[in-house]
């Protein structure tokens, strides 16, 4: 396995930074990839993040609720909210 290595880049007049090609390839960074930027003292950290597709996530959540309705008939508002909370907890546990 190749060792990680440091590289030097320059900040443009517009504040843009070029991430070296080797690092982009290694991390799968392509155009439109979202990066979290964190600055602390004299350090800047870029972390690749995945932002969920909200529409897709809502469809998944509604399918889950609809399956439960099909199995147990109509749900109360409280039961629907409980299913939403369960779904959110399951998604949150996948993040970390």
Question: How confident is the model over 57-92, as pLDDT tens digits?
Answer: 888 888 887 887 787 777 788 888 888 888 888 877
Structure tokens at 34: 């979202």
**What's the predicted TM-score (pTM) here?**
0.51
Question: CA dihedral defined by 18, 20, 24, 27, rounded to 10 degrees?
Answer: -120
Fold of 1-51: Pemi-like Protein 1; Chain: D (2.10.260)
Q: What is the pLDDT of residue 59?
A: 86
8 A C-beta contact, residue 32 and residue 47: no
Higher-scoring residue by pLDDT: 37, 77: 37
The tokens for 1 are 């396995």
Map out the domains of the chain as residue ranges: 1-51, 54-95
pLDDT over threshold 60, residue 95: no
Structure tokens at 63: 């399918």
């Amino acid at each position: 396995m190749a060792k990680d290595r440091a590289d030097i880049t320059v900040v443009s007049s517009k504040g843009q930074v070029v991430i070296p090609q080797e690092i982009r390839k290694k991390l799968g960074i392509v155009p439109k990839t979202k990066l979290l930027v964190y600055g602390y003292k004299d350090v800047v950290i870029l972390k690749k993040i995945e932002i969920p597709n909200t529409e897709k996530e809502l469809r998944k959540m509604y399918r889950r609720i609809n399956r439960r309705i099909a199995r147990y008939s109509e749900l109360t508002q409280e039961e629907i909210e409980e299913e939403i909370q369960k779904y959110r907890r399951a998604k949150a546990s996948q993040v970390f």
